[in-house]
Amino acid sequence: FTKAIENVEKCLFFDYPNKNTIFCLQKNQFTKKNVVLRSIDNFDTHDKKVIQENVINYFVVSKYLVTAVEYRDDQAKLFISTDGELFEEAQFPPNFKVPDTGFTILESKTGKIFMDIFTRQTLGSEHGYLFMSSNNGTRFSPCLQNTNRNSYGYVDFEKMIGIPGIAMANVVANPDSYERSKMIQTLMSFNDGSTWDYVKAPSEDSYGKKFDCDPDRDEDCHLHFHSYTERREPRNYFSSETAIGMMVGIGNVGKSLEKYKDSDTFLTRDAGKTWVEIHKDAHLYEFGDYGGILLLVNDEVPTNFLEFSVDQGNTFTKYQFVEQKDRKVRVKDILTVPDGTSLKFLLIGTIVDNSNDSGSEIMIYLDFAPIKTKKCVINHQNPEKSDFELWSPSITDNGCLLGEKIEFYRRKAGNDCYMAEKFKDPEFKATSCSCTEMDYECDYNFIRSKGYNGTCELIRGAVTPVSQCMNGRYYESTGYRLIPSSKCINGVRLDVEGAKSHYCTGGGSSSSLSSGTKIVIVGIPLIAAGFFLYHYKAQNWRQGAIRLPTDETLNPRFDLSMVGEAIIVIANKVVDKIMNLYDFVRNIIIRRHDYAPLNYNTNSEHNIFVGN
């Protein structure tokens, strides 16, 4: 090893401009401020470049490099880069801000960034607001309110591993309450965070008995899970990369989440569409052998038994893992290889008995290879003789997910065999689907009207995004944009249908009328009247200040800062009326038809608006 750089807090690899690129957060010894350094040759030479200064922290998420830079007071600005050289400031709806210590960048592999911002930091009552970016990572739209988080910055948000676009999140149903504990509810999204809904509860438990509430009749009867903020080990996800379509969760059926010790263990085999209770009490769990083994150990009391299933949780076999009958172990964790392909596991726990060893740590090695005697067969030509089947996550009525029908090879339930070699390609093929409403999310400055899955409506005080000028016209956003990871074609076009078009000055210039131009045309008297009232807060708005999101900032009461926004809205409407009248007369004179919303990129049908 050789010393490459000093006074460094962290370093991360980035794929641009080459695989040897490293970014490091370094403290300047003179200013005591952090800077981001870049090296493109693993620090083999002294060719280090300061990319940004006054940096609070930085992150690498998918294809993006995200930096948080000190702004003023308790605020921060976010900057996004895809090449590590050019950075663009992240944009948020009006009246939102990013607190310098109150946001969490979440992992995503679907072409956009998810970020959760603190809206309350009171200990025990923490919650946030989840935002998602456009496909270039710079324009953020709110997608889920009152997300559950803790004081350490962890958020109850998790993507399903192996199948794109499926996510689970917990929300606080009583966000305004200070006198009682948080009421947690679980939601799922099957279109990458665009819409959310409650998790459908099973009709009966693992004993065949009905639950206290009826999910088919009671509106408040759903399935809720304990999630990231409560885990002893953060790597214990709901799903596994190689157990395609399967997830395990600890929770309960009811109006909201109960305490962990009052929870039971649930399983889904169809990517979250339906769930079954597989065991009473909370259990630690782990997948192995490509979903061929599901291991459970009681997580409420000391035990000397474990249970395992070789048929996707349909049946379980009990096994005593400690020889001494009077010795039990309080198991703390189950370890195996990260991708869940092994037949070998480790149990980590504490001995509980009357001997001198009580309280000591213990590690128990488990190898399931002796019970797996048949080698799995994958027969593409004769599926009936194959131990694997083609399976598609049919979440929607048309069997599509993010605009395509994906078929995976996964183990057939009940086929007790083992994988002798690594299965390299569980994803088999994909077929494009027609676009539906599920393939669209709210555009920049728009929000769901009913919180989880309503229509997209303009945020109060925000300006509707517009396209660049194309063939003499520009177009207002409809409030929708295609989800970046959707592969759909044709079908419903929420991003285009009903889009209002307006005449551009200059006969096809590269940009539409700006808000400033319209104010000059018709807004000078209004500006004179409102200037002194608006001036102070307008400075913050022009400089990109983003205020903390609350219910009031999403739909705020009247504020003096709205005067300037009202000027812009009135100017927009007046100029549009004038231009439309001019356009009407002009078309009559020269007998030309209105231009249709043309697509300026022949490789995509969904890139007309700025928000896309």
The pLDDT tens digits for 284-303 are 999 999 888 999 999 999 99
Q: Cα(131)–Cα(294) distance, rounded to whole angstroms?
A: 34
- pLDDT for 274: 95
Residues contacting residue 607 through CB under 8 Å, at least 6 positions apart: 599, 600, 601
Burial call 30-67: b when 16+ CB within 10 Å, e when fewer: eeeebbbbbbbeebeeeebeebbebbbbbbebebbbbb
pLDDT of 532 higher than 60: no
**Top-confidence range, 435-449, 450-464, 511-525:** 435-449
**224-253 mean pLDDT:** 90
**317-346 mean pLDDT:** 92
CA-based nearest residue to 485, from 230, 120, 180, 112: 112
Which alpha helices (H) appear in 418-523, and where do they start and end?
515-522
Specify the residue for token string 């080990």.
Answer: 233
Tens-place pLDDT, residues 87-142: 999 999 987 777 766 788 887 788 889 999 988 888 888 999 999 999 888 999 99
- pLDDT for 152: 87
Asked whether the bond before 17 is cis by omega within 30 degrees of 0, the reply is yes
**319-334 mean pLDDT:** 93
Tens-place pLDDT, residues 107-122: 778 888 999 998 888 8
Q: Cα(130)–Cα(442) distance, rounded to whole angstroms?
A: 13
- pLDDT for 585: 46
Q: Cα(246)–Cα(430) distance, rounded to whole angstroms?
A: 20
- pLDDT for 338: 83
38 or 539: whose pLDDT is higher? 38
Question: pLDDT band at residue 590, thresholds of 50, 70 and 90?
Answer: very low
Tokens of 59: 């992150």
Q: Is 238 within 8 Å of 230 (Cβ atoms)?
A: no
Tens-place pLDDT, residues 158-215: 999 989 899 999 999 999 887 778 999 999 999 999 999 999 999 999 999 999 999 9
CA-based nearest residue to 394, from 112, 111, 163, 143: 163
Can you give the pTM of this predicted structure? 0.80
Question: pLDDT band at residue 389, thresholds of 50, 70 and 90?
Answer: confident
Across the beta sheet with 361-367, the strand order is 328-335, 344-352, 361-367
